Structure 1
Amino acid sequence: MNSRGLDYTALTFVIIGAVNWGLIGLLKFDLVAFLFGNLSWLSRIIYIIIGICGLYLLSAYGRFTDGKKED
């Protein structure tokens, strides 16, 4: 997988995590736990993947540009 594909995959997982945290904050509803079980092995793996993707996107923060330099 090229870097761009990895960037978009990581971004997708982080968006899923952000929506999940928004639901927890607003409605006290954990979508991941609802779909995969409360701290089941599968939901824990999803939480770990989302965390790793968040850390990866920290390193990719400066690469998300349209290719134009600002003056």
Structure 2
Amino acid sequence: MKTLRRIALALVIIGAINWGLIGLFQFDLVGSIFGGTTSGFARFIYTLVGISGIICLGLLFNSDTADVPDREESRNLSNTSYATEFAEDPDLDKLYNPSMEAYEDMEDGDEDEEFK
């Protein structure tokens, strides 16, 4: 469904550019590329652009905000937490020797021979 909407949006953009050229310069790009406005293939392209416009009309009323981030979400992205940058260094002795004696010795301030 997402691919269909992207194709429809691309065709709507092509149609908008074509209408802009018609309005500004009285030049029909689709008609000139495909053999005039009355040729079968040009009419097929015009039909595809019209159907794409109807498909993209649903995007106006789409309540799904998965494609567009919410204002609150975008604010939270800029609120970076720097709490770990100024934290104390971890006690590596506790990590490498997790026995209770090593933990208690470090708390009491006593050091064993292996910690000197």
Match of 2:68 in 1: 66
Q: Select the structure that is richer in helix.
A: 1
Provide Cα deviations, 1:11-69, integer angstroms capped at 9, x if missing partner.
00000000000000000000001000112000000000000000111113224742436
List alignment gaps of at least 5 residues for structure 2: 73-116
Identity of counterpart residues, as a percentage? 44
In the TM superposition, 1:22-41 aligns within 5 A as: 22-38=20-36, 39-41=38-40
Larger Rg belongs to: 2
Q: Aligned-pair RMSD on alpha carbons?
A: 1.7
List alignment gaps of at least 5 residues for structure 1: none
Q: What SS class does the counterpart of residue 9 from structure 1 fall into?
A: helix
Give the total of aligned pairs. 68
**Which structure carries more relative contact order (alpha carbon 8 Å, separation 6+)?**
1
- CA distance, structure 2, for counterparts of residue 67 and residue 8 of structure 1: 18
Question: If the length of structure 1 is used for normalisation, what is the TM-score?
Answer: 0.84
Moved more, 60-69 or 38-47: 60-69
In the TM superposition, 1:1-71 aligns within 5 A as: 3-38=1-36, 39-61=38-60, 62=62, 63=64, 65-68=67-70
Code of the aligned partner of 1:36? F
Code of the aligned partner of 1:10? A
Could you list the structure 1 runs, at least 4 aligned residues long, displaced by more than 3 angstroms after superposition: none
